[in-house]
Structure 1
Amino acid sequence: MISPQEALEYIRKATPATAAEHKSPGEAHLQTLAEDVAAPHHHPFFDQSAMDGYAARFEDLVSGQALRIAAHLPAGSTTLPTIQPGEAARIFTGSAIPPGADTVIMQEHCSTENDLLVVERLPEKPGTHIRRCGEQIARGEVALPKGKVLNSSAIGFLASIGVQRVSVWKRPTAAIITTGSEFIRPGEELMPGKIFESNGIMLQTALQEQGIASERHICEDDPEKLTALINQLAEKTDLLLLTGGVSVGDHDHTPSALSSAGFNILFHKVNQKPGKPLLFATRKDCMAFGLPGNPRSVLMCYHVYVKAMLGQWTGQQEISWFSGRLRLTDELINRSGKTVFVTGKRTDQGVEPLRGQNSHMLQSFARADTIIVHPPEAPQLSAGSTVTVIPL
């Protein structure tokens, strides 16, 4: 039986090289940039007003004279008259500063009568309330670096500076198979001996958080039907996630069904808790994880292994979950001889192990923001001990 570190190394070596594709920023939501993005324009594109008010010459304001309102310039105006001495222009947030003007006065600091402007409170200096051309970014500067995940704010920024296309790493396609004859589907009556299916929807939404769409299926405990479904999905997807059927029961058919479908099993069983029966296999351009059936074990294996693999596959980082160190707030005991993954919650004092760590329990996982790694060589960790953590 291999260690978690050895399992990660098998997965790292099997993860295919990433390939890039070109998309509009909006189409590339949650994908990772494959190269730097350079700004195609200065931003702001021109000197513009930061306030609703009046544009004028600062030297005219100092004199205290009333100014003639010579122009009305809403945002989007492209014809800009030159402001002459003794003149001002009505201006709005985002409007281009007309030639000749060098200051904007807030409308709250002015009064008007007919076409005359009286400034009641002088701005401190020339250039007040003006956004200068290129003050955020200059044309040719790196707007976002390679490796940046395009979240909504990044996409909005790229759109605002006129970026039309970006190079991003492709995302894998995925499918989920929940194995078992005990599940009822939505709308069916709960009968004795039956349970609600949760693993499939849990994994599907976990993949969505990584920007990966997937289809999901339920397959009863029938080796021939499972083999046929695996074959069908492996032809059109890059990644298969199977839950259940990986242990040693009479109805655990996942390992044999994967082998019958032409998959090469790279490892089966990891010296860990929860999730000992974890399986990993490959076939041509498709990879498969055989995850346990207990919901907590499923989600733990997803975060420790599948999510780490997806990070490498989509260009975010090389596989590794040694991503942080925190101090324990409470004692942890591990006499199993296995690496134990414990859900926890970060506090001002460090990380707190949560109650309810059995393999079928999800409540503490729903409250957690961290996984604590408890290695077998440290059976007793006292409060204050520093531990490796994996952020959720």
Structure 2
Amino acid sequence: MKSVAEALQLVLENELPRQIESVPIEDSLHRILAQEVFADRDAPPFHRVSMDGIAIHSSQLDKKGTFRIEGIQAAGDAQKTLASRENCLEVMTGAILPSNTNCVIPYEQIDIKNGTASLAKFDYKENQNVHLKGTDAKTGDLLIQKGTLIQPGSIAVMATVGVSKVNVIKAPKITICATGNELVDISDKPLAHQIRKSNVYMLQAALKSLGIPAQILHLEDDKQLLKTSVEKLMEENDILLFSGAVSKGKYDFLPEVLESLGIKKLVHGVAQKPGKPFLFGKKDKQLIFGFPGNPASTLICFHLYFKAWLMAHWGIPNSGIFATLAEEVSFKRPVTYHILVKVMAEKDKLVAVPVVNSGSGDLVHLAEADGFLSLPAQSASFKKGTNYPLTFLNQAWF
């Protein structure tokens, strides 16, 4: 049986070819940028008014405290010119700074009566409350590097430089397979011996949060039907994710079926709890991730192995987050213990509070967890205040 570190290394060693596709920027969130993005003009492209108020020429501040208002420079209007430096123009946030002015005084610091603005104070400077042209970037500057994880701010930058379609790393084609004759659809009323499918929807949601669409299938516990279905799915997908059928039960046919199809099992069995039966295999350019059927095992193994593989495949560095145990935990088996936790921010650290649950089949308390701590196999007692690796369950790229 492999350790968690050995299993993860074997998973990470197996790459798939990277492909590029072009998508509209509104569909690019959480995708990996496959091009560089450059400024097509200075940013901002003009001297930009950064507060509502009046624009004056600062040379007049030593001479007077009142200014006659000549007019208004609104955002989106062509640049106006202040006819006399003894006067002012009202200006709106986002407008181009009027010609013959170089300072903006906010409305909160002036009093306007009968078309004249009076100043409350006189210590204003040239270019005050003005966002100068080219302050943020010059034409041709590199704004976003290739390989960047696209976030809402990235989309705003691409939009402002006119990138309506963007090249991204193509997401692998994935199908999620539920196994087990005890499973029925969400809309069905289960019999006393049945349960509704939930793991596959959980995995589908986790993939969606990473920007990857995936279809869902339910495969029956029939060896020949399973073999036929998996063979067809391997031809149509880059990656298959299985929930269930990987353990030692009489109807856990998946390991045997994969072997009969020429899929090399690189990992099957990890010294961890939950998730001991985790399976990983490869054939040609297809990868197989087999997660144990209990919901906590499925979700923890998804994050530990599939998501870690995806991040490495897309070049996203491991965040290396740690959290502090809020209470003592004991676990006597010599395996890595993944313990569900609630996470709280406390001063300059993250504190992990264990979630009381009845095991890896406890779906209700899994939903309460923010993540899990991985406690090392070398210890049996884990003291309050000690730090351990934290994996978030509910935040896409953490």
Whether TM-score is above 0.5 comes out as: yes
- Counterpart amino acid of residue 309 in structure 1: W
Assess, with a 3 A threshold, how the Cα gap between structure 1 residues 326 and 69 changes in structure 2: closer, same or farther.
Answer: closer
Paired residues of 1:245 and 1:254 also in contact (CA < 8 A): yes
Residues 24-43 of structure 1 correspond to what in structure 2 (within 5 A)? 24-34=24-34, 36-43=36-43
* Identity over aligned pairs, percent: 29
2:179 is aligned with 1:179: yes
- Counterpart amino acid of residue 90 in structure 1: E
* Residue matched to 2:381: 380
Paired residues of 2:243 and 2:298 also in contact (CA < 8 A): yes
The CA deviation at 1:6 is 1.2
- Counterpart amino acid of residue 3 in structure 1: S
Residues 1-392 of structure 1 correspond to what in structure 2 (within 5 A)? 1-34=1-34, 36-64=36-64, 67-81=67-81, 83-108=83-108, 109-113=110-114, 116-122=115-121, 124-164=124-164, 166-317=166-317, 323-347=320-344, 348=346, 350-356=351-357, 358-392=359-393
The CA deviation at 1:303 is 1.1
Looking at structure 1, the residues matched to 54 and 323 of structure 2 have their Cα atoms a distance apart, in angstroms, of: 55
The CA deviation at 1:25 is 3.6
Paired residues of 1:31 and 1:314 also in contact (CA < 8 A): no
Q: Can you list the C-alpha shifts for 1:69-105, whole angstroms capped at 9, x where unaligned? A: 4443221122433543333223211110122111123
Looking at structure 2, the residues matched to 70 and 167 of structure 1 have their Cα atoms a distance apart, in angstroms, of: 49
Looking at structure 2, the residues matched to 14 and 62 of structure 1 have their Cα atoms a distance apart, in angstroms, of: 72
Q: Can you list the C-alpha shifts for 1:220-246, whole angstroms capped at 9, x where unaligned? A: 212222222222322222111011111
Looking at structure 1, the residues matched to 43 and 358 of structure 2 have their Cα atoms a distance apart, in angstroms, of: 51
Gaps of 5+ in 2: 394-398
Paired residues of 1:19 and 1:170 also in contact (CA < 8 A): yes
Looking at structure 1, the residues matched to 342 and 309 of structure 2 have their Cα atoms a distance apart, in angstroms, of: 24
Looking at structure 2, the residues matched to 361 and 31 of structure 1 have their Cα atoms a distance apart, in angstroms, of: 32
Once the two structures are overlaid, the 10-residue window that deviates more, 131-140 or 336-345, is: 131-140
Assess, with a 3 A threshold, how the Cα gap between structure 1 residues 118 and 335 changes in structure 2: closer, same or farther.
Answer: closer
Q: Secondary structure at the match of 1:14?
A: coil
- Counterpart amino acid of residue 235 in structure 1: E
The CA deviation at 1:173 is 1.7
- Counterpart amino acid of residue 295 in structure 1: P
The CA deviation at 1:248 is 1.7
The CA deviation at 1:196 is 1.2
Assess, with a 3 A threshold, how the Cα gap between structure 1 residues 324 and 90 changes in structure 2: closer, same or farther.
Answer: closer
- Counterpart amino acid of residue 306 in structure 2: V
Gaps of 5+ in 1: none
Paired residues of 2:82 and 2:89 also in contact (CA < 8 A): no
Paired residues of 1:173 and 1:239 also in contact (CA < 8 A): yes
Q: Can you list the C-alpha shifts for 1:22-52, whole angstroms capped at 9, x where unaligned? A: 5454332101234654333322111011122
Paired residues of 1:342 and 1:357 also in contact (CA < 8 A): no
Count of residues in correspondence between the two structures: 387
Question: What is the RMSD of the two structures over their aligned residues, measured on CA atoms?
Answer: 2.5
The CA deviation at 1:198 is 0.5
Once the two structures are overlaid, the 10-residue window that deviates more, 360-369 or 188-197, is: 360-369
Assess, with a 3 A threshold, how the Cα gap between structure 1 residues 379 and 280 changes in structure 2: closer, same or farther.
Answer: same
The CA deviation at 1:122 is 4.2
Paired residues of 1:15 and 1:312 also in contact (CA < 8 A): no
Q: Secondary structure at the match of 1:153?
A: helix
TM-score normalised over the length of structure 2: 0.88
Paired residues of 1:175 and 1:215 also in contact (CA < 8 A): yes
Looking at structure 1, the residues matched to 216 and 56 of structure 2 have their Cα atoms a distance apart, in angstroms, of: 64
The CA deviation at 1:285 is 1.7
The CA deviation at 1:17 is 4.6
Q: Secondary structure at the match of 1:63?
A: coil
- Counterpart amino acid of residue 340 in structure 1: Y
Once the two structures are overlaid, the 10-residue window that deviates more, 57-66 or 192-201, is: 57-66
Q: Secondary structure at the match of 1:306?
A: helix
Looking at structure 2, the residues matched to 135 and 249 of structure 1 have their Cα atoms a distance apart, in angstroms, of: 66
The CA deviation at 1:379 is 1.7
Assess, with a 3 A threshold, how the Cα gap between structure 1 residues 23 and 197 changes in structure 2: closer, same or farther.
Answer: closer
Looking at structure 2, the residues matched to 357 and 8 of structure 1 have their Cα atoms a distance apart, in angstroms, of: 27
Paired residues of 1:51 and 1:104 also in contact (CA < 8 A): yes
Paired residues of 2:243 and 2:293 also in contact (CA < 8 A): yes
The CA deviation at 1:391 is 3.6
